Chain A
């Protein structure tokens, strides 16, 4: 039964835009209103980004603090090619993703010479250079602090305009499916088991005769390409690229998502990304009504995250295993109480 749950959820997500169901409290408009669809599309993008990041963090055990760089490479890459050079989206997107993968290969080959905390620091520093460059607006390419709005002339007409928000939603869903398939295929392949072996004990992988460096670099490049793919869709969904996608705050948010959902599990990071993005957007809109620090979404999310690290170590995915003993105990009591 359990294996039919993901396809069923996918089907549900795919047909959701046809429903005019209004869910008061959860969403502002009915499900098929452009506002709700955009919110959901952003959630899907962050679910995909968090799962891609978890390939490094949860599976290979590489705590990269510079993942935003590759997301920004995808978002700005496609935005610059379409808006400044008038490329079509279908030409610009693969070039942006390939460019980001090349960048990941170059920087990863340097960063992976270090390990542990030093690796985190080096990736953080590399990403910071990206952030500074984007803010400095070299040659008028990135639009500086204002960001670069997407010029719609190069986009297919089906992705332009408020009435076509539903197509962006489906696009985000499709990319999410692609990233899930890639990550889960790696999970099942020998590469996935090697990554987990690296996370648990790098020396053993080396003793078996595999090169930890090469395997880690491969994972780094794949994760970079997936991040760029997510960045491309993010730029499409929000209509451009802004320096926020290059900031270290975004990488920290990805870590929070992965840990909230359950790092290294099959669906955990994805669920964490969906939940985080939903809360982030909804709390920002509801925030005006709440008093004091509660009006800041990041205050609530940061506090929630700290509590989760202490009290829910496995994240959302770990909850089920924690519920199981409780449920069994309750069931046993019910059996004992029944008059047979």
Chain B
């Protein structure tokens, strides 16, 4: 029983990371139609900014700085690189691919290819006993952050004017523009939000793995892509459900099966979902 609880909470912790990355990806794709390969770069920007600032200004302020840096990176990428290629989706994907290659190389040249030790709050290293299972506290940090973000994001989308524009834009972009709303500001906003969430994921991932490295973003990004496709492109709740499913499946199969079987089972789940429900769990149509 204690093993099951530990696996469940660890799986949900991993799911929290996937959700934080996938929700930004999903919003960006749903609204702007951009498949963002540079999302891993936003994640690294947040993680490295926090890692760099933490010894100078203390951890809490460094986390804020990291999120701001990642959001700024996201907004900057949209303004400078994506906007000139408006509606040319293949070129946009190619630019983000180039950016992800160059960005990882840039991080490597500045901070080296090796993993760096990442600070975390002292209480995150302790364990809490739940029904006989000793659960490390960093799991609760991840799950709590993800639940907060999910609630805040849904509230933002439902009750604010910009949330309304974003929801309408995901539904039908041309109609929003026809009503005289400049949807491009919403694009920048969505990139900044996605960047901030990815930066938060990078910081929490750094605390969870206790280290950061330039390649970390790319390896998490692939599972986030899978989560986005399973959850349905453009749907936040779909991403949350899919992230929980993927994280739990991966943990349980990795523990009870052979090493690596968890990762394989996630891809099998993806193939099954695509064959049975090509539009994903949330049911939004998937077209290029």
- By a beta-carbon cutoff of 8 Å, the part of chain A in contact with chain B is 63, 110, 113-118, 120-122, 124-126, 128-129, 132-133, 136, 138, 248-249, 252, 255-256, 259, 292-293, 295-299, 301-303, 305-306, 309-310, 313
B99 / chain A contacts, CB cutoff of 8 Å: 302, 306
CA distance A255 to B98 in the complex (A): 10
Residue B57 CB within 8 A of the other chain: no
In the bound assembly, the distance between CA atoms of A133 and B267 in angstroms comes to 13
Report how far A125 CA is from B271 CA in the complex, Å. 9
Most chain A CB inside 10 Å of its own CB: which residue of B29, B37, B271: B271
Contact (Cβ within 8 A) A255 B94? yes
Option from A115, A117, A309 in Cβ contact (under 8 Å) with B35: A117
A310–B222 contact, CB under 8 A? Answer: no
Q: How large is the interface on B (under 10, 10 to 19, 20 to 34, 35 or more residues)?
A: 35 or more
Show 11 residue pairs from A and B whose CB-CB distance is below 8 angstroms, ordered by the A residue: A117-B233, A121-B228, A121-B229, A138-B260, A255-B97, A293-B105, A299-B102, A299-B106, A302-B102, A305-B102, A310-B85
Interface of B is mostly: helix
Q: Known: A121-B226, A298-B105, A303-B98. Is A115-B270 also a contact (CB below 8 A)? A: no
Question: Do residues A122 and B270 form an inter-chain contact, with CB atoms below 8 A?
Answer: yes
- B233–A129 CB distance below 8 A: no
Of chain B, the residue at the smallest CB distance from A107 is: B271
Number of CB contacts from chain A to chain B under 8 A: 122
Contacting pair B109 A293 (CB below 8 A) = yes
0 or 1 for each of B101-126: is its CB under 8 Å from A? (1 = yes) = 11111101110000000000000000
Shortest distance from the beta carbon of B225 to any chain A beta carbon, whole Å? 5
Contacts of A297 in B (CB 8 A): 105
* Alpha-carbon distance between A252 and B81 when the two chains are bound, in angstroms: 18
Given A116-B287, A298-B102, A125 and B275 contact (CB-CB distance below 8 Å): no
Do residues A252 and B260 form an inter-chain contact, with CB atoms below 8 A? no
Q: In the docked arrangement, what's the CA distance between A296 and B110, Å? A: 10
Contacts of A306 in B (CB 8 A): 81, 95, 98-99, 102
B181 within 8 A of A: no
User: Which residues of chain B are within 8 angstroms of A129 by Cβ–Cβ distance?
Assistant: 263-264, 267
Q: Known: A63-B90, A305-B94. Is A296-B105 also a contact (CB below 8 A)?
A: yes
User: Is A118 within 8 A of B278, CB to CB?
Assistant: yes
A298 near B101 (CB under 8 angstroms)? yes
